[in-house]
A and B are shown apart, each in its own frame.
Chain A
């Protein structure tokens, strides 16, 4: 019996959050139950992701396929839990649980009434389900459907905040994200016309043979895909919606959007670029240069814009633009080290940025102040919250023994391997910028005083969330091997190295 249940894991990982999410609006009157259900779902998702990772390590990284309804590909939909997918599933689970813990008992402050809060949770679980789906999907049209589910629930999460400005930010996001969806849809259409397949493996095999008959259509498909996902993943200069949306959303919403949602689109882009178009076509269309250039521009511009922000959440949002740049940069190196570094950085940034947003939210709700310059002395009055913020800042800057370092190190190795020394310089410069916009907050918090205020750390559940996240950041900084092995195997799969 045990074996039969483990074979269904790839599909359970996706449907559990989706189907629990659907029934939450009917439980609006029993908000306690809703909160506990969401935490339970996150715990079970974590167990399932860990079980999948163990299975994958037992098989030495050969993927775990699952045919929906028993129909074989290309007729049926086949989902695959491969190294890349399991890596992302683990990230979702590790970040999702603390975010769910953080929401316990304090979401109504930002969101409002009971039914609004229940709906927030429903959207949160829908987004988690869609992201898990992106991790395991192997079908172009499913990618589109999951992207739409994720986008719409993300817009809902942004607009859930009571502040009317959140609705405006959500509307901007909706318009631009829909444009992105349209481009992705168009690209999938072109690919389907050219290859006649929606399954990624079959489409890739067909595309390698027929792309020369209609190179312009395939080029269009590739550039639509890049632009579409570029808008959704806030690739510089298509990031304009991100600072508003991510800073106006309720705190757990900001954390999940910056930490996970953006990464989901990047994973989809990575899958389609490497698994469907393949390295040869990417190099032929010089897409790796576009990716590298976009990455460099994002790191520099995002960091400089972040430096100029005085509002704490906006500064963190601009920092996300810069950090997405690192990930994109790694996609453009087209070698195993760079890709592995990029994937590890993706995982570590998911942890770090959700910690930063959650602690920032806790600080803002305790002090009522949103500006960086007003937060003098927070460090002594809220030691645990500011401690988690400090750990995450050190991680983001890339100090050794924190998870960000491992990712940046492998990115550097990748840039040397591809002979791109400008990129290497920008990676290092990015760290300096990052220190420049985060360390003043720390200095202010620890070495200055605001007399007379009685600020306190938040409740137990929130503290548990901060401890879990900081522990994960330090754990993956000291012992990166399990995650790094997954990332390296995923990179080898993407480059078809054996």
Chain B
């Protein structure tokens, strides 16, 4: 696409979409949204970039190999967080029982491990969506 206005607009908005995505991911436990919705928003910033600047440039910024790594280890991260409970002598995926300070309800730190788990899920969803987008674009060409 050669549209100047579109390119400039995306260049400005991109960072905001990206940051908002992570905001939704990290506030998943105290506000509407969560890792899935947030991950989609994060992926949208890249999809917008790749649509406007071309898929090759998008792949330059975010190679598929990197996406595979994020997908794999983002999910593994979830499992590792679950194991924290077992290491502390509590059941799998335990949060408060594993002795984690849950802080003041309603604040960002009140989720304990949930925030960390959500981060893993969020980046995983984002990378999966981008992979899907790349695959569909390739199938089209």
Contacts and interface: CB of A to CB of B under 8 A. Distances in A.
Question: Are these two chains actual partners, yes or no?
Answer: yes
Interface of A: 4, 8, 11, 15, 18-19, 22-26, 66-70
A68 B73 CA distance: 22
B97 A18 contact: no
A18 B71 contact: no
Contacts of B71: 22, 25
Contacts of A69: 85, 91-95, 97
B98 to A, nearest CB: 8
A490 B68 CA distance: 42
17 contacts: A15-B79, A15-B92, A18-B79, A19-B79, A22-B75, A22-B76, A23-B76, A26-B72, A26-B73, A66-B91, A66-B92, A67-B91, A68-B93, A69-B91, A69-B93, A70-B85, A70-B94
Given A15-B82, A19-B76, A70-B97, A26 B91 contact: no
Contacts of A24: 72
Contacts, number: 48
Contacts of B73: 22-23, 26
Interface string B76-87: 100100100110
Give the size category of B's interface with A.
10 to 19
B63 to A, nearest CB: 13
Interface of B: 68-69, 71-73, 75-76, 79, 82, 85-86, 89-95, 97
Contacts of B93: 68-69
Contacts of A66: 91-92
By Cβ-Cβ distance, the 5 closest A-B pairs, closest first, are A70-B97, A19-B79, A69-B93, A22-B75, A11-B92
Contacts of A22: 71-73, 75-76, 79
Contacts of A19: 75-76, 79
A202 B89 CA distance: 28
A73 B56 CA distance: 51
Contacts of B76: 19, 22-23
A11 B92 CA distance: 7
Contact of A70 (B68, B79, B82, B90): B90
B87 to A, nearest CB: 10
B97 A26 contact: no
A66 B71 CA distance: 29
Given A4-B89, A15-B79, A15-B82, A23 B72 contact: yes
Nearest to B68: A25
Given A22-B72, A23-B72, A68-B92, A8 B79 contact: no
Given A8-B86, A18-B79, A69-B97, A25 B91 contact: no
A139 to B, nearest CB: 14
A15 B68 CA distance: 20
Contacts of A15: 79, 82, 92
A19 B83 CA distance: 12
Nearest to B80: A19
A29 to B, nearest CB: 10
Nearest to B82: A15
Given A8-B86, A15-B79, A70-B91, A25 B72 contact: yes
A22 B72 CA distance: 5
A351 B114 CA distance: 41
B68 A68 contact: no
Nearest to A10: B92
A66 B79 CA distance: 17
Contacts of B69: 26
A24 B73 CA distance: 10
A413 B78 CA distance: 48
Given A8-B86, A26-B68, 4 more contacts: A22-B73, A25-B68, A26-B72, A70-B97
A67 B89 CA distance: 13
